Structure 1
Amino acid sequence: MFESILKNVQQKTPLVHCITNYVTVNDVANVLLACGGSPIMADDEKDAVEITAICNALVINIGTLNQRTIATMLKTGKKANELSHPVVLDPVGAGASSLRTDTTFKLLEEVKFAVIRGNISEIKTVSKGSGTTKGVDADVSDAVTEKNLDETISFAKELSAKTNAVIAISGAIDIVTDASKAYIIRNGHPMMAKITGTGCMLTAVIAAYCAANPENHLDATAAAVSAFGLAGEIAYDKLVKTDGGNASYRTYLIDAVSKIDAEAIKGGAKIEIR
């Protein structure tokens, strides 16, 4: 289903400008290289707008906010919009503090996003203006399950219509949707939650896929989510064979992303459309 989308990423090598958090910046850069993209990180206002202008996509990740980078996010977002580059928002920890929540809404007010990706608690905050989180993790009470799946899809479609962005909700069951069509993706492994930064990495991969497939952000996002989840499964299989732990899994995950090809995604994607 997504073979051509994956090939476009590997052939075009999209340059992705990431204003991301300093906890995960190295992993974000490496996973972009692994998936076929190219990373550049710039968060000083005097540098970042020019950098955005030469890139193919922009990631705005609010994981380690400060007043300097907030101003940069707003200016680069507007510049990317001016150039019709896809902008992907990762509202890390939205709902956990006033600064994160207020910044999220300031960004949504002033920047047009192609994709908004977060866990269910973050996405509920984006939708409702407030939510519950466990730090930067989803609240257990918010978990997407088979029982509340239809309700969550309906809520996500409404948010997509409201923001005019593709909504990607990460969790045990992933949802990627626009206002009318939803992908339910069951790739991935629980071990992915045991290392920091998998969400940040996925956001950057989504940006690369959208940059390489500018006419179809919905399918590009779904392909990125499925490919990254599949890489998580492959990495876990290797972890079991080598009797490794968390640090090994992080390495195996990035390795697996680098080896995902059209054949792998064709045979391994676990996708349903509603």
Structure 2
Amino acid sequence: MIEPKTIDAILEKVRKEKPLVHNITNVVVTNFTANGLLAIGASPVMAYAKEEVADMAKIAGALVLNIGTLNEENVEAMLLAGKSANKHGVPVIFDPVGAGATKYRTETAQKIVKELEITAVRGNAAEVANVVGESWSIKGVDSGDGEGDIIELAVKAAKQLNTIAVITGKQDIVSDGETTYICKNGNSLLTKVTGAGCLLTSVIGAFCAVEKDYVRASAAALAVYGSAAELAAEGIEGPGSFQIEFLNNLYTISADNIQKLSALEEVSHVNL
């Protein structure tokens, strides 16, 4: 189990160390991602030029790669940055946005996980499934209901990719193939804010920058993120106000909040 005090300790380490999180992300979410990282206590940088990404990645606390708005130039930059991060021991967090929606998107996601050492993959069930060659329905960049056991999928993906698999949805799953957690924190208004999943990927990067037990770091990030969403949703009726309050609560969330709200459960692997 991960105790609330451990979750808070990792969060406070992020706030104290202010890790540099290098994002090569999609154009839709850049501003929200930067503001969210600042709110949680990290230091964001968005650097895309292939001439500098290797240099930026090697000095970062974490590198986040997001294929939301995909083109060949960005893919080249991602691979250059990723190889530099791998060489210098910087964790690489990958968000395979829309994997399964098109052949190009799926093949690009699979290329990235093949050529780089990925610390954690964060996506919905359809995205993660398509990265590892499983069939799962997807519309645009949104996961369909699909069929299958999400916990089993997370364990399989973690083992196949030798990474931390983080699958987010109504409940969030994080697994390294041996240790698996379910996080039941969150609020449905997150699905009404563009970039909420992408920001979560970057927050996981911030947590992995300061905690080298990456499954623990990823699970703690889920709990803090989901708890902040629950706090933000109190008395809020729509996504506009929620987005603002969510950033506020990422900034103000406290040890008491985490103690009261954190809903992480470890999963037995006996039947998996």
TM-score (norm 1): 0.92
Which whole-Å CA distance do the structure 2 matches of 1:155 and 1:260 have between them? 31
Q: Which blocks of at least 5 consecutive residues in structure 2 are unaligned? A: 268-272
Asked whether the equivalents of residues 238 and 252 of structure 1 are also in contact (C-alpha less than 8 Å), the reply is no
Asked whether the equivalents of residues 150 and 167 of structure 2 are also in contact (C-alpha less than 8 Å), the reply is no
Which whole-Å CA distance do the structure 2 matches of 1:103 and 1:127 have between them? 12
Which whole-Å CA distance do the structure 2 matches of 1:249 and 1:3 have between them? 23
* Alignment partner of 1:222 is 2:219: yes
Select the residue among 88, 91, 106 that pairs with 1:86.
Answer: 91
* Alignment partner of 1:103 is 2:96: no
Task: Using the TM superposition, give the Cα deviation of residue 238 of structure 1 relative to its aligned residue in structure 2, in angstroms.
Answer: 4.0
Give the total of aligned pairs. Answer: 262
Q: Which blocks of at least 5 consecutive residues in structure 1 are unaligned? A: 143-147
Asked whether the equivalents of residues 14 and 212 of structure 1 are also in contact (C-alpha less than 8 Å), the reply is yes
* Alignment partner of 1:270 is 2:247: no
Equivalent position of 1:70 in the other structure: 75
* Alignment partner of 1:260 is 2:253: yes
Q: Which moved more, 1:132-141 or 1:182-191?
A: 132-141
CA offsets 1:61-94 (integer angstroms, 9 cap, x no match): 0000111101000010000000111000000000
Equivalent position of 1:145 in the other structure: none
Asked whether the equivalents of residues 137 and 145 of structure 2 are also in contact (C-alpha less than 8 Å), the reply is no
Equivalent position of 2:133 in the other structure: 128
Amino acid at match of 1:120: A
* Alignment partner of 1:113 is 2:111: no
Equivalent position of 1:187 in the other structure: 185
CA offsets 1:192-232 (integer angstroms, 9 cap, x no match): 10111100010000000000112x10011001011111111
**Which SS does the other structure have where 1:273 is aligned?**
strand
Amino acid at match of 2:198: C
TM-score (norm 2): 0.93
Query: Pairwise mapping of residues 125-204 of structure 1 onto structure 2 (< 5 A)?
Result: 125-128=130-133, 131-142=136-147, 151-204=149-202
User: Over aligned residues, Cα RMSD in angstroms?
Assistant: 1.3
Identity percentage of aligned residues = 39
Amino acid at match of 1:66: N
Asked whether the equivalents of residues 65 and 93 of structure 2 are also in contact (C-alpha less than 8 Å), the reply is yes
